[in-house]
């Protein structure tokens, strides 16, 4: 039911994901009428791989997390999280209220041992066509050095599963020199330079974010959220200006479309907004947040991210890594 478009996007995305991923089973949770009418519009109906659980209520986007928590029973989001908690689903994908999703996940799924706060992580595109993962993107509005350190450990464990070797982990800061920054980043840097479990490479600045300077970038949730949205807004501005020119009905526009649609499509992939499926790390279960504005293809991507994390057993990988860090400290 979540996201700006509800079942009009989530139902076609589920149908498309089922044909993309042969191992997938989907449970659609929400208003049965809306869901079945979308399904029949697409010429589909519930079957062994696609089931529906009806719920009457939806947690709205403006609901405060604390209130959403109290009123979650019987809501589509609450029911989805319950299924994961009861091991009746392997992962939850939601386009709904981020704060509510976080509060519910934390309350019902519980945090992994050694984790004080979950973090929202997502991949950003880079100049060379690779990716940089960034966390926290706003699961928390403030963090201490211990949390930032845990974000680094979690991000490192996640990304190692994806790229196959120890990722370069950096802290986002206002300068690359050791003396730069606030107490938070300085204390986290000190902790990271003392562990062997994370390949810590130091600080990076905002202008290096999309330039492959690190595989994992750690920051507090306020900074991460503002920074990601700034990237998206700047990229969108450039894309819009080019689009304007490409769509012109003049001869120039025609030539631009003929010659530069390849470049234009490449530039579009450099908008972090094109990715979808931010993962809520630190929980004893897999929860993927889809953009509110995501289209069908983007929601399919978010489902793909969930499948990936289930296969790689990301929560266990994180747990193992945390244990190694704790052991390292004791001996």
Options 267, 317, 323, 324; binder of its own copies; rule CB under 8 A: 267
For position 62 contacting its own copies by CB under 8 A, the verdict is yes
For position 260 contacting its own copies by CB under 8 A, the verdict is yes
Q: Would residue 35 be called left, alpha or beta, if left means φ above 0 and alpha means ψ between -120 and 50 degrees?
A: alpha
For position 252 contacting its own copies by CB under 8 A, the verdict is yes
For position 312 contacting its own copies by CB under 8 A, the verdict is no
CB neighbours (10 Å) of residue 113?
Answer: 10
**Residue spans of alpha helices (H) in the chain:** 7-20, 32-41, 65-70, 76-85, 98-109, 145-163, 183-193, 221-246, 251-268, 296-312, 314-330
For position 320 contacting its own copies by CB under 8 A, the verdict is no
User: Which residue is listed with tokens 């997390």?
Assistant: 65
**Contact residues for 254 (Cβ-Cβ < 8 A; gap 6+):** none
| Closest CB to its own copies among residues 101, 209 | 209
Least Cα distance to 303 among 91, 81, 101 occurs for: 91
Options 32, 57, 229, 312; binder of its own copies; rule CB under 8 A: 229
For position 202 contacting its own copies by CB under 8 A, the verdict is no
| Closest CB to its own copies among residues 168, 308 | 168
Least Cα distance to 288 among 296, 298, 297, 276 occurs for: 276
For position 205 contacting its own copies by CB under 8 A, the verdict is yes
CB neighbours (10 Å) of residue 301?
Answer: 22
Options 181, 285, 304, 315; binder of its own copies; rule CB under 8 A: 181
For position 223 contacting its own copies by CB under 8 A, the verdict is yes
Options 33, 40, 45, 142; binder of its own copies; rule CB under 8 A: 142
| Closest CB to its own copies among residues 41, 238 | 238
DSSP 238: H
Options 225, 276, 279, 301; binder of its own copies; rule CB under 8 A: 225
**Reduced DSSP (H G I as helix, E B as strand, rest coil) percent helix, strand, coil of the chain, to 5:** 50, 15, 35
For position 278 contacting its own copies by CB under 8 A, the verdict is no
Options 53, 163, 242, 324; binder of its own copies; rule CB under 8 A: 242
For position 130 contacting its own copies by CB under 8 A, the verdict is no
For position 95 contacting its own copies by CB under 8 A, the verdict is no
CA distances from 44 to 30, 47, 50, 113, 297 (A): 17, 9, 10, 42, 18
Q: What are the residues binding its own copies (CB under 8 A)?
A: 62, 64, 127, 138, 141-142, 172-174, 177, 179, 181-183, 205-211, 219, 221-223, 225-238, 240-242, 245, 252, 255-256, 259-260, 263, 266-267, 270
């Amino acid at each position: 039911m979540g996201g700006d478009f509800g079942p009009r996007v989530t139902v076609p995305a589920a149908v498309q994901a089922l044909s993309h991923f042969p191992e997938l089973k989907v449970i659609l949770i929400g208003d049965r009428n809306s869901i079945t009418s979308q399904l029949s519009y697409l010429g589909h109906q519930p079957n062994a791989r696609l089931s529906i659980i009806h719920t009457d209520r939806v947690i709205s986007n403006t609901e405060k997390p604390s209130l959403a928590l109290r009123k979650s029973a019987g809501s589509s989001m609450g029911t989805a999280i319950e299924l994961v908690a009861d091991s009746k689903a392997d992962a939850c994908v939601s386009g709904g209220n981020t704060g509510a999703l976080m509060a519910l996940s934390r309350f019902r799924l519980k945090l992994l041992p050694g984790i004080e706060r979950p973090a929202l992580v997502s991949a950003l595109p880079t100049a060379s066509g690779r990716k940089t993962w960034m966390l926290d993107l706003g699961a928390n509005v403030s963090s201490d050095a211990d949390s930032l350190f845990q974000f680094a450990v979690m991000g490192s464990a996640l990304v190692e599963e994806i790229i196959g070797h120890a990722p370069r982990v950096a802290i986002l800061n206002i300068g690359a020199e050791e003396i730069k920054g606030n107490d938070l980043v300085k204390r986290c840097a000190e902790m990271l330079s003392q562990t062997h479990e994370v390949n810590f490479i130091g600080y990076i600045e905002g202008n290096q974010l999309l330039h492959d300077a690190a595989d994992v970038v750690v920051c507090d949730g306020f900074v991460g959220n503002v920074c990601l949205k700034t990237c998206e807004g700047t990229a969108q501005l450039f894309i819009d200006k080019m689009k304007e020119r490409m769509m012109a009905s003049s001869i120039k526009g025609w030539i631009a479309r003929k010659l530069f649609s390849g470049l234009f499509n490449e530039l579009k992939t450099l908008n972090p907004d094109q990715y979808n499926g931010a993962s809520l790390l630190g929980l004893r279960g897999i929860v993927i947040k889809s953009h509110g504005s995501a289209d069908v293809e983007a929601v399919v991507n978010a489902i793909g991210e969930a499948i990936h994390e289930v296969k790689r057993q990301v929560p266990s990988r994180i747990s193992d890594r945390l244990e190694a860090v704790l052991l390292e400290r004791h001996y």
